[in-house]
Amino acid sequence: MIKKLSLAVIGGTAAGMSAALKARSLLPNLQIAVFERTNYVTHGSCGIPYYIGGEISDYNELITYTPVFLREERNIEVYVGHEVTEIDLNKRIITIKDLQTGKIANNIFKKLVIATGASPIVPKIPGIDSPLVHKVRTIEDSLKIKNDLEKGFVKKVVIIGAGFVGLEMAEALSKWNIEVILLEALPTILPRTNPVLVKLIEDEITKNGVKLYKNTRVNKVVSDIKNKKAEVFTEDGKQFDTNMIIASIGVRPNSQIAETARISVGKTGGIVVNEYMETNIDNIWACGDCVQMQHLVSGEPCWYPLGPTANKQGKIVGENVVGGKVSFSGVLGTQVTKIFDLYVAMTGLSEIEVQKFGYDTALVEISHRDKASYYPNRQNVHIIMLINKSNGRILGVQLAGSVLAALRINVFATAIATGMTVKKLAELDLAYEPSMAPVYDPILISGIIGLKELKRIRK
Amino acid sequence: MIKKLSLAVIGGTAAGMSAALKARSLLPNLQIAVFERTNYVTHGSCGIPYYIGGEISDYNELITYTPVFLREERNIEVYVGHEVTEIDLNKRIITIKDLQTGKIANNIFKKLVIATGASPIVPKIPGIDSPLVHKVRTIEDSLKIKNDLEKGFVKKVVIIGAGFVGLEMAEALSKWNIEVILLEALPTILPRTNPVLVKLIEDEITKNGVKLYKNTRVNKVVSDIKNKKAEVFTEDGKQFDTNMIIASIGVRPNSQIAETARISVGKTGGIVVNEYMETNIDNIWACGDCVQMQHLVSGEPCWYPLGPTANKQGKIVGENVVGGKVSFSGVLGTQVTKIFDLYVAMTGLSEIEVQKFGYDTALVEISHRDKASYYPNRQNVHIIMLINKSNGRILGVQLAGSVLAALRINVFATAIATGMTVKKLAELDLAYEPSMAPVYDPILISGIIGLKELKRIRK
């Protein structure tokens, strides 16, 4: 007999479980089943580098709720280790594979939420399937990495891909006093990031002993699994011996299952949803890292696999599946990454994007202390701001500095969300306290300099 | 012969010197004279507690420019130790007293900027003029306090007035390992601050050994100057022996000189200026702690003696005195105070003010961690938010917590400045990074809870 589900949710991380929990809180008797491919739900993958690095000693701390809790206290049927392999739109059936037993089951759904998330892209090169090669996404990934580290055989690690995950892993692995080699295929790391900030990041990792090689594309991995050794070969003829390889060249939305079912997928690779997070199919919603989003500044489709967005979207879906009509307005892609002692933050459009979308922009670069001139341990906040020349509005901001710098990104995110001009930014009544801000906050300075730059250009 | 001045500026701190320097940068040949009552210019009084407490060892660090620098490098005539005692509007003359020699001079001015700042209110009680009683406003004040502390005779200090200055001084003086007694005349400290936050402040100072007495009004000081001892008597019959008394019951605008000259002074005690910082008299501007401001939320007159406002207003006046037409939009009174390890921040209207102005408000109180649930050393951010029931707009926010909490006040200040609703606040795309923010930032939580509260009320 085919089981019938009132609400089926594919994926039990941020978006999927937010949807399930919100629906539960609104409809206490709704039958809800959540299928999660890994063995964990509600885990924060942003915390993985901290678990690897040792700031967090127990991986259970990365997990908000256990399946047992969700079943017993929230009456949500949670199936971990279960992968949904197919969606049949005609029969309204999902096919579920128990990954442990291999058993296949078909369930009829009335309503469906797709929250399949994103997966690391693994470079297609010989030898990449070696057990010495690790991804960084799931709790299982992090357990494998930590397990190898704890065994003590890892003297050298090669990280393939110097994106933000690669950089965070470089820091985390450095804490094990092992040699960390970071390989980037492109001529520059972080192409969305302003070169001034990239230079700060490169200086920070180099200062901390990480060996960065740019323009270095890996084309082969040869493993000696018995002796826990591998050789990493690159296109330009370099060769690195190592005991651990981290593949972190990027992530992509898990939208294949939707695409196969003919649910609409956009040019970003994410599932297309409207403002209510509805797909093009009745009674099927999607949310989180698997969906395409709309950028609040450009109005263009974009894709940012970020936790706060996934959580917010999941909650909205949870409300809408039980009859609500809540909308999601869009994203700015606000994000912060900590790389050793340097925080890098961004919100809104980057230089690549303003070019792509044809904005006529002014770029302002400032560097200003994060505390009063006389206060000890002050550091500079480096701010790059992009301004729409035609109307003075802020299009995007990237900054780097201490944690005090990083928190300032939220003011820019708030300003951009309201379409604020640099003039208005310069007028904001912001706080001054010698230990956390100079009398002219760096945010105000960026507004003042931005205004000056616009005046200069318009002359 | 009476000297003629193209631009006379009364007061050489934040506002006055900002005006002079801005005017200078725009008109290299303008004759500018600045008269400053104390012996220092461009000093930051917000840094004084840090100088007393020892975080800053040299008071010169509190000073941005010396008179010599300003004369030689900026061609500004700076007269320190010179008090302007009278403004004659008919003759366009200011009377200046050299405080060292007692000499009086009259100068004709073409344009005048009044930036006389604010002064501590000294309670009118017998014995308050004792040399053991100190104010906290000028560099001279701080030198006297530190001098007495360094002599080593101070074993006990009594601080009269538990406002933010009194609290900051309590912390600063605690660093000298002396007994700190803090007396507040009113039944509660900080009447503009929400009681939940007041409780946190009281706990913080008490934990750090400060003895706080509320409802304790001082009515007499008896000094034994030779033996560096004093007795502080209170209305309710208490008696405190001490070696140092700090009078910090409040500050008021130095608008007397303007009022005497019949320049318009408002009900807040501050000089009335329009949006261009012009007084009611042609070619006379006023800026900084001596002026009345307009509140950005209520539109009502208000008075906040705060550094960033003084600096911004000064700069605007500097532009307008040389023919500019720049406006100052108003204030939110955004401020942060550090009290031992607790930061307290506020922006917009307080509970007292929303009552006074008749807003129908909802009050939201939340307490949420400032980092991810699993990240070490997290602390709670306590947020009190006032919402306009009729339109959902945020009227004011007060919060307390770590420095990470304090910096979040700027997001609220930005939100309030744009008339943001709690709904929009809850939708903001803010940054998540485990070491500086949970996935739902406390700011978002306050928006979510605010929205819920409005829905509950409207039902």
Helices A164-174 and A195-207 cross at an angle (nearest 10°) of 20
Q: Cβ of A403 and B44 within 8 Å?
A: no
Within an 8 Å CB–CB cutoff, is residue B312 touching chain A?
yes
Within an 8 Å CB–CB cutoff, is residue B417 touching chain A?
yes
Q: How far apart are CA B177 and CA B172, in angstroms?
A: 10
Identify from A52, A319, A373, A407 which residue to disrupt to test chain B contact, counting B C-beta atoms within 10 A and taking the largest count: A407
Within an 8 Å CB–CB cutoff, is residue B14 touching chain A?
yes
Within an 8 Å CB–CB cutoff, is residue B253 touching chain A?
no
Residues of A in contact with B334 (CB under 8 A): 429-431
Q: How far is CA B358 from CA B330, B352, B391, B397, in A?
A: 20, 10, 14, 17
Split at pLDDT 50, 70, 90, the class of A359 is very high
Q: Cβ of A306 and B375 within 8 Å?
A: no
- The whole-angstrom distance between A255's CA and the closest CA on chain B is 23
- The whole-angstrom distance between A314's CA and the closest CA on chain B is 13
Across the A:B interface, residue pairs with CB atoms under 8 Å apart total 211
Active site residues of B: 46
Q: Cβ of A424 and B407 within 8 Å?
A: no
Q: Cβ of A440 and B308 within 8 Å?
A: yes
Q: Cβ of A55 and B376 within 8 Å?
A: yes
What pLDDT, on the 0 to 100 scale, is given for residue A44? 79
Helix (H, G, I), strand (E, B) or coil at B107: strand
What pLDDT, on the 0 to 100 scale, is given for residue A10? 98
Give me the residues paired with residue A347 across strands.
A397
Residues of A in contact with B374 (CB under 8 A): 44, 47, 50, 56, 61-62
- Averaged pLDDT for residues B271-284: 98
Q: Cβ of B444 and A308 within 8 Å?
A: yes
Active site residues of A: 46
Split at pLDDT 50, 70, 90, the class of B459 is confident
What pLDDT, on the 0 to 100 scale, is given for residue B46? 85
- The whole-angstrom distance between B7's CA and the closest CA on chain A is 25
CA atoms within 13 A on the CB side of B244: 31
The DSSP result for A123-170, as a single string, is ---TTTTSTTEE--SSHHHHHHHHHHHHHT--SEEEEE--SHHHHHHH
Q: Please check the confidence at residue B1 and state whether its pLDDT lies above 80.
A: no
Q: How far apart are CA A359 and CA B407, in angstroms?
A: 31
What pLDDT, on the 0 to 100 scale, is given for residue B45? 82
Q: What is the pLDDT of residues A222-274, one digit of tens each?
A: 999 999 999 999 999 999 999 999 999 999 999 999 999 999 999 999 999 99
Q: How far apart are CA B450 and CA B385, in angstroms?
A: 8
Q: Cβ of B432 and A308 within 8 Å?
A: yes
What pLDDT, on the 0 to 100 scale, is given for residue B292? 98
Phi, psi of B293 (to 5 degrees): -120, 170
Within an 8 Å CB–CB cutoff, is residue B50 touching chain A?
yes
What pLDDT, on the 0 to 100 scale, is given for residue A345? 98
- Burial (CB < 10 A; 0-12, 13-18, 19+), residue B2, is exposed
Within an 8 Å CB–CB cutoff, is residue B413 touching chain A?
yes
Phi, psi of A115 (to 5 degrees): -140, 60
What pLDDT, on the 0 to 100 scale, is given for residue A374? 87
- State the pTM of this model: 0.96
Phi, psi of B95 (to 5 degrees): -100, 130
Within an 8 Å CB–CB cutoff, is residue B306 touching chain A?
yes
Scanning A103-162 for CB atoms below 8 A from B yields: none
Q: What is the pLDDT of residues A14-64, one digit of tens each?
A: 999 999 999 999 999 999 999 999 999 998 788 899 999 999 989 998 999
